[in-house]
Amino acid sequence: MGFFSIPSCPTCVRRLAGGALQQIRGKKRTRKVPTIKVQLTRDVPRFGEKGAITRWITCGVKGSQLTARRDCPTNTKRENERFPKGIADYIPRHMLKRMPAGALKHRDPMFMNAKVEKKKPKVVIELLTPTQTIALLDSFIPPNLMFSRSTIAPNEPAIHGSVTLTDIATAVRNIAAANGKEGSRIVVGPENIRFAGKDVEGDKLKSLGTFDFEISVKGANDFVRRKVMVVEQEEV
């Protein structure tokens, strides 16, 4: 009779046994986490609304108060706010027995989940009255506004690039703003300006010369009249 040694390798033992042996794993023990039932005293973002009854994890006793934290799967500092901060009230067992079925609610991670943006304080700008605007423009705007343009041909008044009401309005605003805080409050656009002379057609100046224009504001009885001078641009 021959003798042989039994292999110590588990894989070899199962192979000799023809697969009859099976590995038996023990059941994992689930750790029980002590919880209490509380009622929220205010709306808690990502958890629940005021008055909701929910389950919180207890964290022991601190002094004479039972401490708890919100039962949340994430482990962030915000989620672990303590129970004594006034977020919720503890519900005794005898009160729980009187509550109807379904009163206990699960955590609502979407409750008030939207980011609350800090509202920026509105800057209130006190607008000038039409009469004040005209009075300030009359004191700020010089008698002549000068624009330089190149001519199409030597000794010809026709220019390249016209001078528009928008160009004049921009110049008026810049001059007003350069005169301090009051001037920066003046609002003038091309709709407030018109050419006063008969020698101008439309809203553009297309030649060299001196032309009258007026600035008016709706609601004001007066207006400001000035001149715009279109001069030939010097070649560099």
Where in the chain are the domains? 35-98, 130-232
Q: What is the mean pLDDT of residues 108-122?
A: 67
Mean pLDDT across the chain: 76
Tokens representing residue 150 in the block: 């190149």
SS3 content of the chain, % helix, strand, coil (to 5): 20, 30, 50
pLDDT of 133 > 90? The answer is yes
Q: What is the mean pLDDT of residues 176-190?
A: 90
* pTM exceeding the 0.75 threshold for the entire prediction: no
Q: What is the mean pLDDT of residues 215-229?
A: 94
Q: Which of the 8 DSSP states describes residue 104? A: B
pLDDT of 64 > 80? The answer is no
**26 pLDDT tier (thresholds 50, 70, 90):** low
> What own/partner pairs with CB < 8 Å and gap ≥ 24 does 197-205 have?
203/164, 203/165, 204/162, 204/163, 204/164, 204/165, 205/159, 205/162, 205/163, 205/164, 205/230
**112 pLDDT tier (thresholds 50, 70, 90):** confident
User: Residue 28: what are its φ and ψ, rounded to 5°?
Assistant: -75, 135
Question: Distance between CA 10 and CA 21 in Å, rounded?
Answer: 10
Give the CATH H-level superfamily of domain 130-232: Ribosomal protein L9, C-terminal domain (3.10.430.100)
pLDDT at 78: 43
